[in-house]
Amino acid sequence: MSIKLGTRGSPLSLAQTSWVLDELKNTNPSLTFEIEKITTKGDTDTRPLFAMEQKGIFEKEIDRAVSEKQVDFAVHSMKDVPSDLDSSLTIACVPKRESVNDVLITNDGFSLDSIPSGSTVGSSSLRRAVQISRKRPDLNVKPIRGNIETRINKVTEKKIDGIVLAKAGISRLGVDTKHSLLSKDEFLPSPGQGALAIICRSDDSKTIEMLKKIEDKNSRIEVEAERSLSEHIDSGCRFPVGAYASVKSDSLILKVGVYSMDGKKSILIEENGTIDNPFELGKKIGNELKSQGVSEIASNWREKLEEWNKQ
């Protein structure tokens, strides 16, 4: 029996897909798999990520192929999957999560504390840009696009002094490069960072059963809390929110940070919940953020981004 899966053709997406296939083959040795590379809007639009409508730019075309039965399932980075997933689809599996930390990559192995004043640091993420500026306002933060290798090459070719990106990306790719780990408490990651989402049709019970064999229970719980938080405040790449959930025995801890565009205002919340109801914990913090003025921060972001997009 041959199973067809869809994914982006980027090196990272293919590496993630290869890892998933290795896991699936270990639990389903009689199956064979065929990879269908699908181009998405996020692959063809060269504008900075913050200049685009973010929902689905890296997964919409692939999920359409799943829904229309061109492929059986799809492998995504969890943070690329919008909370309002089509009702015909389901996140059938969340495999074991990679590191949620961000890293700073420089030629000299600088940490964020030691990189010289005036250095230019690139990032594709508004969240990271604000977090960098909050900690080191003396650095120049520059928007940067391209796959991970392209961004790293800009550092090695000395076109930029450093870049900040997710550690999970270089781990999945097996990239050996000098990097400094950033604290996940100071640099709260994007909701779902480090996790994979395997999508299939909601009514495809056989595929769901196959995929569930490589599910990691704790990773699923953590991601559900973070995605619930995003859903309740409608966050995304155009509205930077940091969130990290962690399972500790029977408890679930969710830390969340929201930042103004200039980095001067922030709302930081940490709450405990139970592993039995991660959605409720995300919703609870979402409501707390609303009561503490997150709507005003979000509105300021939208107004400024609309100005930039008109230029």
Residues 6+ apart with CB under 8 A from 80: 42, 57, 58, 59, 197
Written as one letter, the residue type at 299 is: S
Alpha helices in the chain (DSSP H): 11-27, 41-44, 60-67, 126-135, 148-156, 167-173, 205-212, 217-233, 278-291, 294-310
Tell me what pLDDT residue 311 has.
44
* Domain contains 310: yes
Q: Domain of 107: which CATH number?
A: 3.40.190.10
Indicate whether 227 pLDDT > 90.
yes
On the question of pLDDT at 211 being above 60, the answer is: yes
Same domain, 229 and 210: no
Residue 252: partners with Cβ closer than 8 Å, 6 or more residues away: 221, 222, 225, 245, 246, 272, 273, 274, 275, 278, 281
Backbone dihedral region for residue 201 (phi beyond 0: left; psi -120 to 50: alpha; all else: beta): beta
The answer to whether residues 206 and 229 belong to one domain is: no
Please, which pLDDT band fits residue 39 given cuts at 50, 70 and 90?
A: confident
Predicted local distance difference test score (pLDDT) of residue 306: 58
What confidence score (pLDDT) does residue 158 get? 93
pLDDT value of position 147: 85
Asked if 90 and 203 sit in the same domain, the reply is yes
Q: What is the CATH number of the domain that holds 220?
A: 3.30.160.40
Residue 260 lies in a domain: yes
Identify the weakest region by mean pLDDT among 75-79, 171-175, 288-292, 302-306: 302-306
Is position 188 within any domain? no
Clarify whether residues 204 and 115 are in a common domain. Answer: no
Mean pLDDT across 56-66: 81
**Catalytic site residue 80?**
yes
How much is the pLDDT for 10?
86
244 and 300 assigned to the same domain: yes
Domain tally for the chain?
A: 3
Q: Strand, coil or helix: what is 18?
A: helix
Domain annotation covers residue 210: yes
What sign has the CA pseudo-torsion 182, 273, 98, 197?
negative
For residues 298 and 230, membership in a common domain is answered with yes
Is residue 111 domain-shared with residue 225, that is, in the same domain?
no
Q: Which of 25-29, 137-141, 176-180 has the lowest mean pLDDT?
A: 176-180
Give me the domain span that covers residue 72. Answer: 1-96+196-215
172 and 46 in a single domain? The answer is no
- Check residue 60 and give its pLDDT: 84
Torsion of CA 58, 63, 64, 70, to 10 degrees: 120
Furthest-apart CA pair in the chain: how many Å?
58
* DSSP conformation letters of 114-153: TSPTT-EEEES-HHHHHHHHHH-TTSEEEE--S-HHHHHH
Domain assignment present for 244: yes
Our measurement of the distance from residue 7's CA atom to the centroid of its chain's CA atoms, rounded to an integer in Å, reads 16
Average pLDDT over residues 3-8: 91
67 plus 120 within the same structural domain: no
Catalytic entry in 80, 102, 161, 204: 80
* Residue 190: inside a domain: no
Query: Are 128 and 240 members of one domain?
Result: no
What span, in angstroms and rounded, lies between the C-alpha atoms of 27 and 5? 17
From the CB of residue 22, how many other CB atoms can be counted at a distance below 10 Å?
Answer: 10
Please tell me the least confidently modeled range out of 47-51, 128-132, 203-207, 292-296. Answer: 47-51
Residues 20, 50, single domain; the answer is: yes
DSSP annotation of 189: P
Q: What is the reported pTM?
A: 0.88
Mean pLDDT (the chain, rounded): 88
One domain for residues 146 and 107: yes
> What is the C-alpha radius of gyration for the chain, rounded to an integer number of angstroms?
19
In a domain? residue 187: no
pLDDT at 67: 95
Report helix, strand or coil for 69: coil
Mean pLDDT value of segment 254-269: 88
Residue that terminates a domain, selected from 157, 181, 205: 181
Cα dihedral 277, 279, 284, 290 in deg (nearest 10) = 180
Are 123 and 164 a contacting pair, CB within 8 Å? yes
| Residue 186 forms part of a structural domain | no
